[in-house]
Structure 1
Amino acid sequence: MSSHVLGRPSAFLFDCDGVLVDSLASAEAAWKSWAATYKPDFDMERDMQHGRRAMDTISELVEADLVEQAFEELLQSEMETVDGTDAIPGAVALTESLPAGRWVAVTSGPRELALARLHSAGITLPEKLVTAEDVDRGKPDPQPYERGAEHAGVPISECAVFEDAPAGIAAARAAGAGWVVGIGAGALEPWSDGSLPDVVVPDLDAVRFVDGDLVILRTLS
């Protein structure tokens, strides 16, 4: 598909991991170490539903009285490898081109980890951030993106959401986002409810914000 205008959003809501930052290597190392202690048969590549809060995943894998401890150990391991986090291509340029106060990071990760990864990747921190601690229900529930729109000060129908994970895309759709941009090939896979983005791009280098227009330069088939 050739370059085209997707719409004129009033605000921009970005998932963090896989959209703004590439943290896959550090996350895989942390989960592998975690699984050796708490769930030896767990394989992140095979078993993980990306885009969900770690606490939600862990609560399904270990006994209730171990959940808090298991989560804290995973977080500690992820924090130890945060320096290896890089920006997704185009993330710095795109976020710096957006109106002040009109882009929000909406992540399933804990605040401490999200801030550390954004800093490591060289992305100027947004004025507003929605993290795992800020919601009662994580993605695919719509609450994270509803909260993101509140922080941006505009209706969710005027927001463009950028997501790489099917669970996050489902959350954006359920919230009523005006536009949903999938990032990477994983966004081509529908969530269990059939949710799909409006368009899928390889990374944020394929997106521009020009004179109020959200412009898509190239897409994945």
Structure 2
Amino acid sequence: MSSPRVLGRPSAFLFDCDGVLVDSLASAEAAWVAWATTYKPDFDMERDLQHGRRAVDTIAELVETALVEQAFDDLLAREMDTVDGTVAITGAAALTESLPSGRWVAVTSGPRELALARLNSAGISLPERLVTAEDVDRGKPDPQPYERGAEQASVPVGECVVFEDAPAGIAAARAAGAGWIIGVGAGAYTPWSDGSVPDVVVPDLSAVRFVDGELLVDEELPRP
């Protein structure tokens, strides 16, 4: 077994939620497909849904302006109905529980209500600080969410490590100036339009440890 890689000594830890801390993919896809029957019958998940972005931003591109608020509320209700299907990403609970108090922030593109419900369903201890869709004017891939996350942690963003699975989120972290970016899952190697990729990609959070102030990576996924 190879020795762990020492990635650095971050002061704070910023975690995306869906795909990083929790696996909500099946329930979210079911909600979007059901939503589309009313608002966008020709909706195609692969073509029209870019993971990591705020749902309201995607909806604004798919329906008439006058229907955006109604359509978003409908989607949120459907996602809340399926939240019990959310489970933890392997290693997420152990890693977050091992971090010093107040040192980690969840930075999600989802609404606060949904994020908290999914974390609870997955058995993840709630973070002391949370940045959600309501807390920003511009969602990922804009850097604002991770800038706000660093502010919540009260440290410069360059001292933060970001955990992300989605290209839009990785681009947001890179634009914000995050000190380190850890991709979660093979999809994290897919570059955003600006070419942003993470520093390292792990299969799940069981491959990451924080020991004596050092962030250790035990297993990396090779670049495709």
TM above 0.5, one fold?
A: yes
Moved over 3 A (4+): none
1:185 deviation in Å? 0.9
CA distance in 2 between counterparts of 1:205 and 1:43 reads: 33
**SS at structure 2 position matched to 1:200:** strand
CA distance in 1 between counterparts of 2:36 and 2:208 reads: 37
| Contact preservation (8 Å) 1:2, 1:218 | no
Q: For residue 90 of structure 1, what is the amino acid of its counterpart? A: G
Determine whether 1:102 maps to 2:103: yes
- Structure-2 residue corresponding to 1:78: 79
- Structure-1 residue corresponding to 2:171: 170
Determine whether 1:92 maps to 2:93: yes
Please list the CA deviations of residues 57-111 of structure 1 after superposition, one character each: whole Å capped at 9, or x if unmatched.
0000000000000000000000000011000000000000001001000000000
1:152 deviation in Å? 0.3
- Structure-2 residue corresponding to 1:121: 122
What's the TM-score once normalised by structure 2's chain length?
0.97
- Structure-2 residue corresponding to 1:146: 147
Q: For residue 208 of structure 1, what is the amino acid of its counterpart? A: R
Count of residues paired in the alignment: 221
- Structure-1 residue corresponding to 2:70: 69
- Structure-2 residue corresponding to 1:7: 8
Q: For residue 165 of structure 1, what is the amino acid of its counterpart? A: A
1:45 deviation in Å? 2.9
**SS at structure 1 position matched to 2:74:** helix
Q: Which structure 2 segments of 5+ residues have no match?
A: none
Q: For residue 110 of structure 2, what is the amino acid of its counterpart? A: G
- Structure-1 residue corresponding to 2:135: 134
| Contact preservation (8 Å) 1:187, 1:200 | yes
CA distance in 1 between counterparts of 2:127 and 2:24 reads: 18
What's the TM-score once normalised by structure 1's chain length?
0.99
1:2 deviation in Å? 4.8
- Structure-2 residue corresponding to 1:17: 18
Identity of aligned pairs, percent?
81
1:44 deviation in Å? 1.4
- Structure-1 residue corresponding to 2:60: 59
1:46 deviation in Å? 3.3
> Could you say what the CA RMSD is over the residues aligned between the two structures, in angstroms?
0.8
- Structure-2 residue corresponding to 1:211: 212
CA distance in 1 between counterparts of 2:195 and 2:143 reads: 15
CA distance in 2 between counterparts of 1:128 and 1:55 reads: 22
CA distance in 2 between counterparts of 1:17 and 1:104 reads: 14
- Structure-1 residue corresponding to 2:42: 41
1:3 deviation in Å? 1.8
Q: For residue 8 of structure 1, what is the amino acid of its counterpart? A: R
CA distance in 2 between counterparts of 1:44 and 1:129 reads: 27
